């Protein structure tokens, strides 16, 4: 009966339902494999970082998996990324010593947790201006301004 009214009114059939799993599989097929290390913050992703923050894929994989399981909604791209990223991290090369720059959608997932990774001691912060790794990071205050001060 619905088909009759659709024909009568000249409407197009509705689009197929959104399948996050299928979209995630397509996304993963288009990505290079995950390596041992993953850059979670960089000026490549947004203008708010002047450093690169790198973590081991195995260290953030459980976190990203829990986040994906406990979060709903968002744009279609973010939904697909939340399904795909845990699978991408799970298949990381464990000891290749290489670094991956994940897609911008993946970087958005971890962006708000970058300081947690640093505080937890699982991240390496590399200052591009200093050309060295930073051992100690102090959060900015009203006195120091809106930037993270690196000592």
CA distances in angstroms from 46 to 57, 63, 115, 121, listed in the order given = 21, 22, 16, 23
136-151 pLDDT, tens digit each: 766 555 655 545 544 4
φ and ψ at residue 46, rounded to 5 degrees: -155, 170
Rounded Cα–Cα distance for residues 109 and 40 (Å): 9
Which residue from 85, 95, 89, 83 is spatially nearest to 58, judged by alpha carbons? 89
14-52 pLDDT, tens digit each: 666 778 889 999 999 999 999 999 999 998 887 778 889
Query: In the 8-state DSSP scheme, what is residue 108?
Result: H
Which residue from 129, 109, 127 is spatially nearest to 117, judged by alpha carbons? 109
pTM given for the model: 0.76
The mean per-residue pLDDT over the stretch 99-109 comes to: 91
Alpha helices in the chain (DSSP H): 2-9, 20-30, 57-70, 76-90, 104-111, 114-119
């Amino acid at each position: 009966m619905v088909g009759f009214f659709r024909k009568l009114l000249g409407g197009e059939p509705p689009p197929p339902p959104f399948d996050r799993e299928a979209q995630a599989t397509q996304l993963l097929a288009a990505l290079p494999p995950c390596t041992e290390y993953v850059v979670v913050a960089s000026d490549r992703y947004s203008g708010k970082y002047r450093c690169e923050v790198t973590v081991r894929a195995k260290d953030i994989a459980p976190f990203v998996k829990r986040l994906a399981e406990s979060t709903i909604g968002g744009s279609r791209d973010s939904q697909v990324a939340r399904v795909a990223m845990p699978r991408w991290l799970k298949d990381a090369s464990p000891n290749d010593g290489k670094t991956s720059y994940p897609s911008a959608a993946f970087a958005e997932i971890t962006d708000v947790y970058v300081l947690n990774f640093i505080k937890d001691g699982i991240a390496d912060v590399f200052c591009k201006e200093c050309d060295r790794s930073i051992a100690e990071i102090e959060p900015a205050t009203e006195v120091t301004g809106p930037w993270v001060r690196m000592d």
